Amino acid sequence: MPQILSPTPEHIQDLVDQLRVGQIVGLPTETVYGLAANAQSIEAVQKIFTAKGRPADHPLIVHIASPDSQSENNSFGDQDWLDRLAPWAREVPKCAVDLAKMFWPGPLTIILPRAKGVLDIVTGGQQTVGIRCPNHPQAQEVLHAFGGGLAIPSANRFGRISPTTAQHVKDEFQTISELLILDGGACEVGIESTIVDLTHWDSVGPVILRPGAITVEQIESCTQMKLGQQPGQAIRFSGGLSAHYAPKTSLILLDESSQSNEFNQLTGRVAWASWVTPGELHLDVNKLELTHYVFPKVPQEAAQKLYELLRTLDAQKFDFLVFPKLPQTNQWAGVRDRLARAAVGSGIDQ
Ligand code: TXA
Ligand code: MG
Position 227 scores a pLDDT of: 93
The Cβ-side half-sphere exposure at 131, using a 13 Å CA radius, reads 32
Which atom of ligand 1 lies closest to the CA of 126? 29
Q: Is 111 in the pocket of ligand 1 (CB under 6 A)?
A: yes
Nearest to 184 by CA among 131, 132, 135, 144: 135
Which ligand ends up closest to the CA of 49? 1
- Distance CA(194)–CA(131), nearest Å, equals 11
Q: Is 123 in the pocket of ligand 1 (CB under 6 A)?
A: yes
Position 10 scores a pLDDT of: 98
- Distance CA(262)–CA(256), nearest Å, equals 11
Position 345 scores a pLDDT of: 85
- Distance CA(251)–CA(270), nearest Å, equals 10
The amino acid present at 85, given as its one-letter code, is L
Partners of residue 321 on adjacent β-strands: 251, 271
Position 284 scores a pLDDT of: 72
Per run of 10 residues, the mean pLDDT along the chain (length 350 residues) is 97 98 98 98 98 94 89 79 97 98 98 97 97 98 98 95 97 95 98 98 95 97 92 55 82 80 82 86 79 95 97 95 95 96 83
| Cα separations in angstroms, 254 against 118, 122, 192, 339 | 44, 38, 24, 11
Q: Is 128 in the pocket of ligand 1 (CB under 6 A)?
A: yes
Q: Is 204 in the pocket of ligand 1 (CB under 6 A)?
A: no
Q: Is 154 in the pocket of ligand 1 (CB under 6 A)?
A: yes
Edge-first strand order for the sheet with 268-274 is: 250-254, 320-324, 268-274, 288-294
Position 72 scores a pLDDT of: 57
Position 234 scores a pLDDT of: 54
Q: What is the pTM of this model?
A: 0.95
Which ligand ends up closest to the CA of 32? 1
Position 240 scores a pLDDT of: 57
